[in-house]
Amino acid sequence: MPGRTLYDKLVDAHVVRRIDDDGLVLLYVDRTVLNEYTSPQAFAGLRAAGRRVWNPSAALMVVDHVNPTAARRTREMPDVDAARQVDYFAENARDFGIEYFDIMDPRQGIEHVVAPEQGLVMPGMVIAAGDSHTTAYGAFGALGYGIGTSDIEHYLATSTVRYRRLKTMRINVTGHLPLGVTSKDIVMEIIRRIGADGATGYAVEFAGPAVRDMSVEGRIVMSIMIVEAGARGVVVAPDQKVLDYLEGRPRAPKGEMWDRAARAWLQLRSDPDARFDREMTVDAGEVAPVVTWGTSPDQAIAVTGQVPDPENNAAAVRALSYMGLQAGTPIQSVPIDFAFIGSCTNSRIEDLREAAKVFRGRHVATGVRAIVVPGSTQVRVQAEIEGIAQILIDAGVEWRQSGCSMCLAMNDDILAPGQRSASSTNRNFEGRQGPGARTHLMSPAMVAAAAVTGRITDVRALIKEGAQ
């Protein structure tokens, strides 16, 4: 019998029954995290049908999308529609008996930061939620994926979803990350190579020595960002780093239960003879810091490169026009108006530490506005304890409260038409950070470099300068 992939093992362990012969199954889901933006219709459906939530303890509700991130936090919501969403969210939490982190809760934050932070994500789980970046949890050896509103309603009522098996892809990252290159650069390079649809229909397993060397937070970045190549599921075999991250978290197992769980989790991996439908290898040592030039995450180049010639490619021509760029322009000569560090992709303490190294002893360039929005209130507190927040403030950066913020411009954090942003987020679509806004994706350290120079900049030069 051929070996099995970790993805197949996780799915097989959660199948309630097979629905057809083409891979459609009824899948048991261990846990979900709900936000105020994608859940209202699901609760409305439950109310209309007179149904209760089957297992309220398997869900967590967190405000993160529409809340303001101003430095002084209050429960007041200046936007009437946003306030209505949050009020209905709180009403649903109360009526259906689900734990709720509101805006003022010290555990509040972006759902994909909060769930692991609380120890709610554990190896071997299947987690489905109403956000495509639920793949973040693959970094822990769990299978996480995004679902639609009707699936959220079905899950809340039954703890199951209809699920069609995916093909499998293994991406091996060999070598070691060079100076100034992060997991964000690696995954952006992968997306650049395979395209925005290169992983469509696949569950991706990240493997190889460079992945094993990464922190859990670095693996989370990879697991989130590969969605921008179309992936619908991600897994990374759990190891001691995952155990170290989880041990002692509020919701993680304790005592003998922890010992038993840890032993079982370390067995979760693909078999040596497992066959994948597709494989690719990337040598980390050949990757430079990456930045997008267009309006899709795969429209990217090394920071040392030039804006490419669209060559009659209609999408590329449109992207260049929208971005206000000319083919052949060195990307490092492109000025910015705004620098944003935040989002579920790059707002954890490790990201803020890397940015602070660049900001230390420097100042945001004249004419540039820079904001840093931590991924959770706990990350914010940790950054203040470590002195990171003060470094940012001294550099002229606005130090904000937690939330999704300018990742998707659903609150008052929004760019004006034509403004150009260096951003640590995951999507650079037209209007993503505001109507007419222009977004260049890059790592947090690269955003910091752009902020202090006023243009897209190779962070490696500043790292070397700081070491002298």
Could you tell me the domains of the chain?
6-165 (3.30.499.10), 167-238+270-285 (3.40.1060.10), 289-467 (3.30.499.10)
Q: For position 468, what pLDDT does the model report?
A: 62
Q: For position 105, what pLDDT does the model report?
A: 96
Side-by-side strand order, sheet with 420-423: 398-399, 369-372, 338-341, 420-423, 438-441
Q: For position 448, what pLDDT does the model report?
A: 98
Q: Helix 216-225 to helix 349-359 angle, to the nearest 10 degrees?
A: 100
Q: For position 464, what pLDDT does the model report?
A: 86
d(CA 343, CA 435): 19
Q: What DSSP element (H or E) covers 225?
A: helix 216-225
Return the structure tokens found at 372: 């840093």
Side-by-side strand order, sheet with 32-34: 32-34, 59-62, 99-101
Q: For residue range 354-367, what is the model confidence (pLDDT) as tens digits? A: 999 999 999 999 99
Instruction: Name the stretches of the chain with pLDDT < 70.
Output: 467-468
Let me know: does 454 contact 460? Beta carbons within 8 Å.
Answer: no
Q: For position 79, what pLDDT does the model report?
A: 83
